Amino acid sequence: MALPPSGTTDEAFLREVDEEYRRDQLIRAGRRYGIWIAIGVVAFLVAVAGWLFYDHSQRTAAEARGEEYDAALQLAAQNQVGQAQPALDKLAQGEDGYAAMARFTQGNLLFQQGDKKGAAAKFASIVTDSKLAQPFRDLALVRQTQAEFDTLKPQDVIQRLGTLANPDSPWFGTAGEMVAAAYLKSGKRGEAAKLYRQLSEAGSRVPDSIRERTGELAKTLSVTPTAPTAQTQEKQAK
């Protein structure tokens, strides 16, 4: 190793030696691991390209399904249900939101046609499909109960919709009204009146039509029936 030039401090000389040593180490590392670094870079670029291709494919497929769903809805709106069904059947086989909406549409069409049993079965297929998002399944449970309401026992309605018939639920209006009606059918007048009152005071969270109906029912149920007096009983006896 050459001696440091005259006038150079020991500290500066040591710094130059250290820098030279680091450069030498980098060159050796590059020669030794360069190919692996290159492979890693290529693998990263391939992974990014693959993800971009997958994302683009998913977006393209979603757009296509959206167009198919819109076309089916237009056919159904024009009373061409028979022509809309093949597209709805195809969409209903998926696992995304369009699959759920297609089944909802099929259930609603059956309900409108008076086939409540078929509608309930279609909504039930959404409720039991764990691959679909929970909001879809909750709404399907409400719609299934609507279709089956006349055939269910009041307690079954209360148990089925209990968690959805509360002010924090987005389905409070419809679920709450059915649960209140079930309370009333089972003779629980107080519980029914309380729930009807909550519905009538729920504001924008509940549709106007439901608030108006439940408000009138809450007032009616809040009136406590008076026991007949002796004079009234005497008149009825005559």
Joined tokens for residue 155: 């307690």
Residue 75 domain flag? no
Range from 9-13, 49-53, 145-149 carrying the lowest mean pLDDT: 49-53
The answer to whether the Cα torsion of 97, 99, 102, 104 is positive or negative is: negative
**Distance from C-alpha of 172 to C-alpha of 92, rounded to nearest angstrom:** 27
User: What's the total number of domains in the chain?
Assistant: 1
Range from 75-84, 115-124, 159-168 carrying the lowest mean pLDDT: 75-84
Residue 166 domain flag? yes
Q: Is the pLDDT of residue 112 over 60?
A: yes
Structure confidence at residue 230 as a pLDDT band (50, 70, 90): very low
Cα Rg of the chain, angstroms: 35
Residue 115 domain flag? no
Residue 161 domain flag? yes
User: How high is the pLDDT of residue 195?
Assistant: 94
Task: Tell me 167's DSSP state.
Answer: T
Mean pLDDT of the chain: 79
Range of the domain at 201: 152-224
**Distance from C-alpha of 205 to C-alpha of 197, rounded to nearest angstrom:** 14
CATH number, domain with residue 191: 1.25.40
HEC string of 197-209 equals: HHHHCCHHHCCHH
3-state secondary structure of 71: helix
Q: Is the pLDDT of residue 33 over 70?
A: no
Residue 232 domain flag? no
Residue 70 domain flag? no
Residue 131 domain flag? no
**Distance from C-alpha of 203 to C-alpha of 101, rounded to nearest angstrom:** 27
Answer for the pair 144, 124: CB distance below 8 angstroms, yes or no.
yes
Structure confidence at residue 122 as a pLDDT band (50, 70, 90): very high
**Distance from C-alpha of 37 to C-alpha of 8, rounded to nearest angstrom:** 39
Residue 68 domain flag? no
Question: Which position has the token pair 């296509």?
Answer: 64
